[in-house]
Structure 1
């Protein structure tokens, strides 16, 4: 078993470098294939940043506080996703080149900030083998997280079209989802540490499912927007809850690998919802897409309540011992 120093920081630095290279490549691209290659490099960099930064953050917190820490850390990503298009749009008023220069400056600033941060100290890592990428105990929280993401993906793909076609309020739909999501994430992340990831995951999926029931069962804009708010509130704590379950069921040295694999199910859920929800909407109508999301939330709830999503007793006893000390 090798001994590495600051493994999380090194991964983040590598990812930030890849992201900056991808941004620069898109700014200088003269052909479509160059844009595509740059996007792939940028995507790999962003994945590395998140996968390396989260375990780096965890090392600053005891195990019983890592659920809430993950939830608050995730706000950085959501804040960037919310503010990024706005900032880029404003910069684009001065020309496309100005927008790219701003993105490159932000990427450079991010890399410089990471280089100036202290490492998280020594980390013991097992030798990298193919079988180490499959982490015991990560399957249930990964599936649960992906099914929760299916609801978000369905709203992203279908909501505006549905509201435009009937109930109205399309301008407010996604902002209400995002606002509720951020508010509940900020206010509720600490609840994960208090009651456990499995309980919060089950409650989140119940609220998400209830939101889709409201959307499907109402014809008014107000009713549909209430349903959207419920879905946003349900989705908001899916990440910290799934992280808590994954950490509790995975070996300590593989926690980062477990969560990195788990987060990929969020993207998979959104991708599946975009395709599946779109096909349902085109074939059977918009409400059929929301029914599909409702079914996904119910299946996720079954997974959350299954024995495979139960936190391991030995890890829970250790966390209780650390709280008592």
Structure 2
């Protein structure tokens, strides 16, 4: 086999990652725009706005098991294409909610329906991409697949928020949703010539609950890691405002810089040395970054804490995901990744309200102490798995 033919899977995976980045802009651009539309245009307040944003994540969490099973049974490519169809339907539904003939309450209900469809599409797209990429690259490079998929997703989130608000200002909500509807169509066209991979040979299929029983430990680790990330995303600007510091908007930029640099430099490290050592180092770095945010006496040190938090969070998902998929046979890897990703979804959904209570009672800085303690708890769990007798890899 020539070097060129050996490189074909990697080039296909890179192309698929680019497509994932583009279609995930559908999710990222809509998020702030939906909040602005509900709270300002419809005048329905923060609670209704929060529900409109959060209901998509609820749909994602509840559909992870179904999407993972579909990826296992039908293959990653059909699962991803179905996700793109849901993205299109969601964007068109949200576009319809902007019709001027609809009363305010009806517009809001149509918008909620679109957000639910978007959550289903997110499950199918992510797990279809993971299953397709893992089958394409083989079990030995599953960590690289997860690292690249994460880069595509988080890159879209980093660009999508400001881009969505920019388009909202210039095109209005209906125009933004029209752009969101075009992206999955473009993604499907870009992947039309990329061949799919047949699903792994099927065997005895346990229940989703039984699969969760096999992967709950790495899932719990990624849940604990996600607390710090969610806390930083929600409260860093408020923390700076409370401290009277300038430059609150640069906190997420520092986080994203650390996140992307580590993914670029060390994306294949879990495949080379294993998920547990990478997870342990990453959680230790995250704990230090969150503690620095808690104790920071100046904006410069707070930015350093955000940078370290991003660097620490970067490799936890692919490292622990590698541990999770190695606990199940190949024909269950989509289901396992569905359950595994749900732990991260739960962290993102639960952290905001709980951290808000802590911030109200003790101050914004204490939110980052909780993030640091959560990372240390994740580190302890990784250490417990590391010290256990090595499990046979599937």
Tell me whether the two structures share a fold, i.e. TM-score over 0.5: yes
Q: Does 1:161 align with 2:238?
A: yes
Please state how far the C-alpha of 1:241 moved relative to its aligned partner: 0.5
Q: What is the DSSP-based 3-state SS (H/G/I as helix, E as strand, rest coil) of the residue aligned with 1:178?
A: helix
Q: Does 1:119 align with 2:187?
A: no
Please state how far the C-alpha of 1:302 moved relative to its aligned partner: 1.0
- Correspondence for 1:57 among 133, 148, 156: 133
Paired position in structure 2 for 1:322? none
1: distance between equivalents of 2:320 and 2:307? 21
Paired position in structure 2 for 1:300? 378
Say which is worse superposed, 16-25 or 112-121, in terms of deviation: 112-121
Q: What is the DSSP-based 3-state SS (H/G/I as helix, E as strand, rest coil) of the residue aligned with 1:124?
A: coil
Q: What is the DSSP-based 3-state SS (H/G/I as helix, E as strand, rest coil) of the residue aligned with 1:134?
A: helix
Paired position in structure 1 for 2:142? 66
Paired position in structure 1 for 2:173? 96
Please state how far the C-alpha of 1:193 moved relative to its aligned partner: 1.5
Please state how far the C-alpha of 1:264 moved relative to its aligned partner: 1.3
Please state how far the C-alpha of 1:45 moved relative to its aligned partner: 0.9
Does the C-alpha gap of structure 1 residues 286 and 125 become closer, same or farther in structure 2, counting only changes over 3 Å?
A: same
Name the count of aligned residue pairs.
313
TM-score (norm 2): 0.74
TM-score (norm 1): 0.89
Please state how far the C-alpha of 1:189 moved relative to its aligned partner: 1.0
Q: Does 1:45 align with 2:121?
A: yes
Mark the runs of 5 or more structure 2 residues left unpaired by the alignment.
1-71
- Correspondence for 1:226 among 296, 304, 311: 304
Q: Do the aligned partners of 2:144 and 2:271 also contact (CA within 8 Å) in 1?
A: yes
Mark the runs of 5 or more structure 1 residues left unpaired by the alignment.
319-325
Correspondences of 1:244-255 after superposition (within 5 Å): 244-255=322-333
Paired position in structure 1 for 2:187? 110
2: distance between equivalents of 1:108 and 1:232? 32
RMSD (Å) for aligned C-alpha atoms: 2.2
Paired position in structure 2 for 1:285? 363
1:207-256 deviations in whole A, cap 9, x for unaligned? Answer: 00011221222211111111111111000111111111112222222111
Paired position in structure 2 for 1:321? none
Q: Do the aligned partners of 2:214 and 2:327 also contact (CA within 8 Å) in 1?
A: yes
Paired position in structure 2 for 1:87? 163
Does the C-alpha gap of structure 1 residues 131 and 88 become closer, same or farther in structure 2, counting only changes over 3 Å?
A: closer
2: distance between equivalents of 1:222 and 1:230? 12
